[in-house]
Amino acid sequence: WDLTAYPPAIDGKQPDPRHIEVKGRVKGASTVTVTRNEMLYAFNQGDKFVLAIVLVDQDDSFDGPHYIRNPFHSEPGWGVASINYNLAELLARARLA
């Protein structure tokens, strides 16, 4: 993952950190590529893992980040190096924070 975020303490207890994988894509792109290792980290980290997608325009303006919890439904098959996901479908499950 790209960064670790530590949520604020609740009633004196520190929640689990979030492991965030950030994917930047140009506005208008139709897919986003996720590597096998990124997917395996997601499954191993469970609820701690968050996929963040940022859409960047040619003038360096951006939209996001869009956060997606539990972004993948199944582990990649044997020998798969990466998978292209439909960006619109991922973003439909996202929320802005």
What pLDDT is stored for residue 17 in this prediction? 94
User: Smallest Cα–Cα separation from 93: which of 70, 74, 62, 75?
Assistant: 70
Phi-psi region at 70: left, alpha or beta (left = phi > 0; alpha = psi -120 to 50): left
Residues in the chain with pLDDT values less than 70: 96-97
The pLDDT score that the predictor gives to residue 96 is 66
pLDDT at position 97: 60
